[in-house]
Structure formats: structure tokens, C-alpha cells
Structure 1
């Protein structure tokens, strides 16, 4: 792209230089780019020109920005299959990514009406609510909330003090295996707090899934809701009614 004088615009030259940095792996997926001030110093321009160059990379999907935090190298979306046997760690390892979970909150409370219906509980029954953040290669990809019926799963809350794994916590509570009975997928916008956790901008697109897992006898043991960063995960459906 050249202007009327035949010269490459400075913002385009900055975008080209940063694109080369990414191609040569000077900055990898999830890495934060230097600040606008640092890049302005590097290229000898003002911050507005730097911002224009970065915007071009955002439009190409190479970089993402977070208000108040800066610009980050975008990672390629991770394939995440939603089959009858949904396992976070297994799915990401199969995709060649390194999985991790961060526990945000574990609480015992009364079930909401919707949770009680999903878990086939009497209204107001006690549940364990597990809130967490899922990461791939250290980058946040999803927020989740998992709801477990306390009467059916004694010890589930205590189990989450020792493990972030739902599968392991269910095993401790007596559930040797479980499968997905139903899944629903909806497109939503990120709230301010969701954007903060996922390193997004408020209003960015999310994919929200909700589903019920059952034990080997078909009894509901988990009602889960997950909010995936829309540009970091590709959901694939395998043999599910949604």
C-alpha cells in the first residue's frame, strides 16, 4: 500500500515490521507486545501512528487488544470437541495445547430454580458451585461455573480444595464415570468482569455452552455453564443433540 507520492505510509511500515517480528517468533502466541510508547520510541513516530499500525494487525487477526492492558499476539483457535465424554484436559492435550485450570471460587448455596430443574432437585436444595478459569498454553480461553448436587455427592466441596479437576473431584465423591446428556450453545457478549478474566474487551463475542452430565445410571451429577473466548476456541459437536 502506497500513498499518492508512491511511498509506503509509516503506519503500514510499522505493521509490516511487527508482522515480521511475529513471523520470526520474536513474540509468540499470547505474548504481550511492547507498549505504544516503547514502539513509538523504536520507530521514531507518535503513538497515534503506532496505534494505526497495530489496528491493521488486529483487523488481520494477528493481534488482539485489551483496553487498559495493551496488545497481545493472537493464538490460533483451539479445536474443542463437545461429545458425550467432555474432558477439558484430554481435549486440549489432543489439540497439542498445554491445559491448566485456575479455581476462582468454590461455594455451597441453594440451587436456583433453573439449576434445580437441570439437576432434577427439589427447589432450594443445596449445591456446590465451582467457578474457574480454563487456560491453554497459559492463555485464558474460557470461564466456567459447574453446579453439583450436595446430597448426591458428599465430599465434593472438600475435593475441590485438593484438585481443580472435575473428573477427579467426582471420583472422590463416588462417581467413577460420567457422560454429557445435553448441550446448548449460544453466542453472547462479554461482560466487564468476563472480559477482565479472559483478557478481552467488554462486548467481545463469547460462545456460551450449558449442559448436564449424568452418571452411569443416568442421574444428573453436574450442570455446567462455560463462556469460551470466541476467537480462541472452535467448538465441534460430536454426536450431540443441541
Structure 2
């Protein structure tokens, strides 16, 4: 059985320390020598763990001063109303979205069943990138039934926000019908967008949102950088 590299174990431990509030944003981490003593390794192993954390945007170093916490993973509630901008802003960070592509295609079996449309019916596919304070936190793909939401493509091009675009198309509110969460490893393209290493841990959510009439309006898949968000499940 393959063993987890020690530097990865150190990275996970330090990331958990940040996520659980033992180190706040702006705090200086213990020195390399102190961390080496804590984990029973040499400083080179600690240095590698810190370097990868810096690549992930969790810490940054200051020459002669040490390594500091850049940002704690953001809490991301998954409840009846899942709103990216609201979730990120509530943690004091600035949310933005970037449209990667908008295209119309035929619905496959899974999305057709989720959206309660016929297989092969047209769906608008929105591929995008979600950012917090300019740092990528998730890539996503959302599908919408084209015939129910005329004008949605233009609204998404104008705002990038699903909530605002749906409102512009007459869907003033929508709620989450179901969510599935699965641990995955980042593909090469996901890693490129999220600025993480290929194979790094990510969390995939698959969800269905419905309008006030109960009819599905969105089927979405989102891949979160595992070190940048903490998904919390509950009612809202």
C-alpha cells in the first residue's frame, strides 16, 4: 500500500490548524526548526510543505520575517439556498465570477433526468470560475433548460451571476433540491484553473435547483479547491 508523503501530511495538519482557527489570517507560523521538531522531520521536508501551501495561496513568506497565513479556508454553507456571492461575502471576502464559456448543447441522460426534460433537448451550458479576493476557489458547470429560460445566455454574459441572471429571466427565487458531495483529485485542466497541483484534493458537489413552482431550473457540478473552502451542510 502506498504511503502518504510526510510533507503532504504536514501540509494537511497545518491547513487544518488554519481552518480550525489556531492560526488566523496574518499570523506568523512557527519557524521551520520548530515545525521540524513538532513533526519529527528535517527542515527540508517542512520547507516543501510550506512551499506547496504558498503555491495554493494559503501562506506567504517575508524575507527575514517568516511565513504568514494568507487566508483561512472560507466556510461555504450548503443548504436550501446556495448563493456563491452571499457565502463568500459573509466571510469578509470579495466574490467574483468569470465566464469561461457559454454554449447550447443537447442534454444527456443525467442532466435530462435532473432537469425533467427529454433527453436530447437543448440546454444552456455555463462553464465558469469562482474567485474569492481574486483567488480561484472553484470551477463549475451549470446547465439550464433553454426553452424555459429564454434570454438567459445574454443575462449571464452581462452579470456572470446565476442568481441575477435567473432573476432577469423571471425566476425571482430558487432553492436547492438535492446536493451530493464527493472527494476527487484535480484533473490537469481543473488544476490549471484553480492554480493547484494536478491530483490535489478537491471536493465535487452535484446539485439541482428549482424555481418557486418546483420545476428544476439548474443542474450544476462544482469542483472546489479542497484547501480553500470548508463545506458546511445544514438548513438556511
- Asked if structure 1 preserves the Cα contact closer than 8 Å seen for 2:182 and 2:204, the reply is yes
The correspondence of residues 175-194 of structure 1 with structure 2, limited to 5 A, is 175-194=171-190
2:209 equivalent to 1:213 = yes
Which of 26, 29, 47 is 1:54 aligned to? 47
C-alpha distance in 1 between matches for 2:231 and 2:127: 21
Partner of 2:115: 119
Partner of 2:168: 172
Q: How many residues are paired up?
A: 190
Residue by residue over 1:107-155, the C-alpha shift from the partner in whole angstroms, topping out at 9 and shown as x without a partner, is 1111111110110010100000001000011110000111000011111
Unmatched segments (≥5 aa) in structure 1: 1-21, 26-48
Partner of 2:132: 136
C-alpha distance in 2 between matches for 1:209 and 1:101: 17
Residue by residue over 1:61-100, the C-alpha shift from the partner in whole angstroms, topping out at 9 and shown as x without a partner, is xx2437xxx9963531100000101111111111111111
Which of 99, 104, 123 is 2:100 aligned to? 104
C-alpha distance in 1 between matches for 2:91 and 2:49: 29
The correspondence of residues 34-53 of structure 1 with structure 2, limited to 5 A, is none
Unmatched segments (≥5 aa) in structure 2: 1-25, 30-41, 61-69
Partner of 2:91: 95
TM-fit CA distance, 1:223: 0.3
* Cα distance change on mapping 1:51 and 1:164 into 2, 3 Å: farther
Partner of 1:18: none
| TM-score for the superposition, normalised by structure 1 | 0.73
- Structure 1 residue ranges, 4+ long, deviating more than 6 angstroms after superposition: none
Partner of 2:199: 203
C-alpha distance in 2 between matches for 1:97 and 1:71: 14
Partner of 2:234: 238
TM-fit CA distance, 1:50: 9.8
* SS of alignment partner, residue 121 of structure 1: coil
CA RMSD of aligned residues (A): 2.4
TM-fit CA distance, 1:227: 0.2
